[in-house]
C-alpha cells in the first residue's frame, strides 16, 4: 500500500471552506465516509473482487484527506492500493477519476442535499437534477450530432462473451460512435476497449468512454482504466435515467440480475403510451454461447410484459457488424426525429418517465416481499415491480447494506402470480447455473427466494 499527495487532474481544483468542512465531517451528515469509499473504488480499478464488504475490510486502513493551500487543493491518500501507481506516481487516468469523484459528490451534496434547488418529489424536478449533474460533469455537448451508444451487460461474464463485446465495440468505433457504460469490468469494459481500436483506425480526435455509476455500487464495479469521463449519480434510479436520457441507442450484452434490471427499466419506460413513437434502437446481442441467456430473457418478457414489449427490441446473435449497422441506422432515425421537432440531441427531454421509475427503491425484506408480481396491472407497472425485484437481488449480491440485511435476516422473499413467479425463478436459476451472479469464486448462495 502507498501513501501519496495528489494534485488535481481535469475536474476540480478549488473548494470553499464550507465544502472542505463537509468532506472532512465524519458524522452522519458529513461526506467523508462516502467520499472515502468512492475514492477507494477508483484507486482499486482492475480488481476482480465484487463483494463491497470484503473490499472495505481489505483496505480498512485507507484514508483520503484534503490538503488546502492558497493556490487550490491537493489530496493526501494513505494506504492506497499499489495498482493505482507506477514507480510511486499515480496513474493519470486514475487521478482524473479521483477528482471526478470529488467534483460529483460535492455538487450532489450541495445542490440536491437540502432539496431547495430541485424538487425531487416531482418527475420534472428529478429529470432536471439528472440534467444538471451531467452538465456539471461536462457530459453534455450541444455541438455533437447523435452518436452515443449505451452498452449494458454484466461484470461476471466469460471470456468468449467478453471478446464478443470487444468485437462489437470495434465495429461501433469504426462507425465513429461513442461508448457509454456502467464503467466497470466485463461487458462494461469490452466495448470501450474494442471501440478504442476502431476510433484509432479512423483517427478520431474526440473519443468518449463515458462511465456512469453511483455510490452504493461503485466499490463492486470499480471504474475500468479506459473510462475517460466518469460521472457519479446520487442513486441507481438517477443513474438509469442518465443512461436513457443521454443515449441515442442501447446495446445489451449478456449479464446477470443487474442487466435484467436495466432491460426491464427501459422496457417499462418504452411501454408508456407517451413514448410509443419515440425511436430508440435496442439490440440484445452476444456470441452463440449466450443464445440461451437471451432466450430466457425473452421468455420472461413475453410471459410478463407481453408481445408489445418484445417488439421494442431485436436479438442478434454472433454478428458484430450487423449490430453496429443496426445501431447506426437507428441513431440516424433518432437524429431525424429530434431534428424535426427541434429537440436537443444531447439530452432526451421528450422521453416520458413516470415517478415510479424515478423513486429510489431501498431493498429490505419488507419492501421485497411487498412487490406486486402479477399481471393484473398495466404492463409498465409490472415492469416497475420486476425491475425492483432484480434491483433488490443486486443489493443482496454486492451492496454492503443488502449483503448485511441478508446475513442478518436470511434471503429476500419474492411472492408472485404462478406464471410470473415461475418465469422469474427460471431466469434466476439459469443465472446461477451459468455463474452470472458474481465474479467472486466459490459456490453462490442465493440472497433471495421465489414463492408462487
Give me the residue spans of the domains in the chain: 2-117, 140-340, 357-451
Whether 2-117 and 140-340 share one fold: the answer is no
pLDDT digits (tens, 9 = 90+) for 360-400: 999 999 999 999 999 999 999 999 999 999 999 988 988 88
**What is the pLDDT confidence band of residue 348, given thresholds at 50, 70 and 90?**
very high
Residue 69 has pLDDT above 70, yes or no: no
CA–CA gap between residue 193 and residue 104 (Å, rounded): 25
Residue 32 has pLDDT above 90, yes or no: no
Which of 22-31, 246-255, 282-291, 322-331 is predicted least confidently? Answer: 22-31
pLDDT digits (tens, 9 = 90+) for 70-129: 666 788 888 888 888 998 888 999 989 988 998 999 899 888 877 678 888 999 999 999
**What is the pLDDT confidence band of residue 452, given thresholds at 50, 70 and 90?**
confident
Burial of 27 (0-12, 13-18, 19+ CB in 10 A): exposed
Per-residue exposure over 91-110, b if at least 16 CB sit within 10 Å of its own CB, e if not: eebbbbbbbbbbbbbbbbbe
In the block, cell 448462495 appears at 445
**What is the pLDDT confidence band of residue 143, given thresholds at 50, 70 and 90?**
confident
Which of 308-317, 420-429, 439-448 is predicted least confidently? Answer: 439-448
In the block, cell 421509475 appears at 357
Identify the CATH assignment for 140-340 out of 1.20.59.10, 3.30.2350.10, 2.40.50.1070, 3.40.50.450.
Answer: 3.40.50.450
pLDDT digits (tens, 9 = 90+) for 241-268: 999 999 999 999 999 898 999 999 999 9
**What is the pLDDT confidence band of residue 14, given thresholds at 50, 70 and 90?**
low
Return the CATH class of domain 2-117: alpha beta
Grid coordinates standing for 312? 421494442
Which of 53-57, 341-345, 368-372 is predicted least confidently? Answer: 53-57
**What is the pLDDT confidence band of residue 53, given thresholds at 50, 70 and 90?**
low
Cα 442 from chain centroid (whole Å): 25
Query: Is residue 249 a contact partner of residue 327, using CB atoms and an 8 Å limit?
Result: yes
- Rounded (to 5) percent helix, strand, coil in the chain: 50, 15, 35
In percent, how much of the chain has pLDDT > 70?
A: 92
Sheet strands (E) in 8-103: 63-69, 72-80, 85-86, 89-90
What does the mean pLDDT of the chain come to? 89
> Strand, coil or helix: what is 395?
helix
**What is the pLDDT confidence band of residue 327, given thresholds at 50, 70 and 90?**
very high
Residue 326 has pLDDT above 90, yes or no: yes
* Model pLDDT, residue 220: 72
Report the chain's C-alpha Rg in angstroms: 21
pTM over 0.75? The answer is yes
Grid coordinates standing for 2? 502507498
CA–CA gap between residue 75 and residue 35 (Å, rounded): 12
Amino acid at each position: 500500500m502507498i501513501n501519496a499527495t495528489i494534485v488535481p487532474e481535469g475536474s476540480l481544483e478549488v473548494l470553499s471552506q464550507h465544502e472542505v468542512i463537509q468532506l472532512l465531517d465524519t458524522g452522519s451528515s458529513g461526506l467523508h465516509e462516502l467520499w472515502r469509499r468512492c475514492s477507494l473504488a477508483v484507486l482499486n480499478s482492475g480488481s476482480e473482487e465484487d463483494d463491497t464488504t470484503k473490499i472495505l475490510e481489505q483496505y480498512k486502513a485507507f484514508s483520503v484527506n484534503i490538503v488546502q493551500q492558497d493556490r487550490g487543493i491537493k489530496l493526501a491518500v494513505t494506504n492506497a492500493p499499489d495498482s493505482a501507481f507506477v514507480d510511486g506516481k499515480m496513474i493519470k487516468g486514475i487521478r482524473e477519476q479521483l477528482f471526478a469523484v470529488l467534483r460529483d459528490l460535492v455538487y450532489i451534496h450541495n445542490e440536491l442535499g437540502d432539496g431547495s434547488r430541485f424538487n425531487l418529489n416531482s418527475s420534472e424536478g428529478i429529470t432536471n437534477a439528472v440534467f444538471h449533474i451531467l452538465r456539471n460533469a461536462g457530459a453534455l455537448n450541444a455541438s455533437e450530432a447523435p452518436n452515443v451508444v449505451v452498452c449494458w451487460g454484466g461484470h461476471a461474464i466469460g471470456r468468449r462473451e467478453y471478446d464478443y463485446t470487444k468485437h462489437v465495440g470495434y465495429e461501433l468505433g469504426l462507425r465513429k460512435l461513442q461508448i457509454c457504460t456502467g464503467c466497470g469490468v466485463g461487458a462494461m469494459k469490452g466495448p470501450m476497449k474494442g471501440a478504442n481500436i476502431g476510433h484509432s483506425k479512423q483517427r478520431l480526435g474526440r473519443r468518449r468512454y463515458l462511465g456512469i455509476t453511483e455510490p452504493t455500487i461503485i466499490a463492486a464495479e470499480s471504474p475500468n482504466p479506459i473510462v475517460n469521463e466518469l460521472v457519479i449519480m446520487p442513486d441507481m434510479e438517477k443513474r438509469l435515467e442518465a443512461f436513457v436520457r443521454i443515449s441515442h441507442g442501447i446495446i445489451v450484452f449478456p449479464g446477470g440480475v443487474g442487466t435484467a434490471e436495466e432491460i426491464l427499466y427501459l422496457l417499462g419506460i418504452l411501454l408508456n403510451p407517451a413514448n410509443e413513437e419515440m425511436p430508440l434502437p435496442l439490440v440484445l446481442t452476444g456470441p452463440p454461447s449466450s443464445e440461451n441467456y437471451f432466450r430466457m430473457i425473452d421468455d420472461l418478457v413475453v410471459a410478463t410484459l407481453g408481445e408489445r414489449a418484445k417488439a421494442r427490441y431485436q436479438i442478434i446473435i454472433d454478428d458484430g457488424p450487423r449490430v453496429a449497422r443496426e445501431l447506426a441506422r437507428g441513431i440516424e432515425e433518432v437524429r431525424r426525429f429530434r431534428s424535426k421537432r427541434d429537440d436537443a440531441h444531447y439530452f432526451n427531454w421528450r422521453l416520458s418517465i413516470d415517478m415510479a421509475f424515478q423513486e429510489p427503491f431501498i431493498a429490505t425484506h419488507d419492501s421485497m416481499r411487498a412487490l406486486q408480481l402479477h399481471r393484473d396491472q398495466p404492463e409498465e407497472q409490472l415492469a416497475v415491480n420486476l425491475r425492483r425485484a432484480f434491483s433488490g437481488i443486486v443489493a443482496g449480491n454486492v451492496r454492503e447494506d443488502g449483503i448485511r440485511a441478508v446475513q442478518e435476516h436470511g434471503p429476500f422473499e419474492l411472492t408472485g402470480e404462478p406464471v410470473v413467479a415461475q418465469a422469474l425463478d427460471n431466469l434466476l436459476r439459469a443465472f446461477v447455473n451459468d455463474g452470472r451472479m458474481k465474479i467472486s469464486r466459490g459456490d453462490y448462495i442465493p440472497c433471495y427466494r421465489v414463492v408462487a
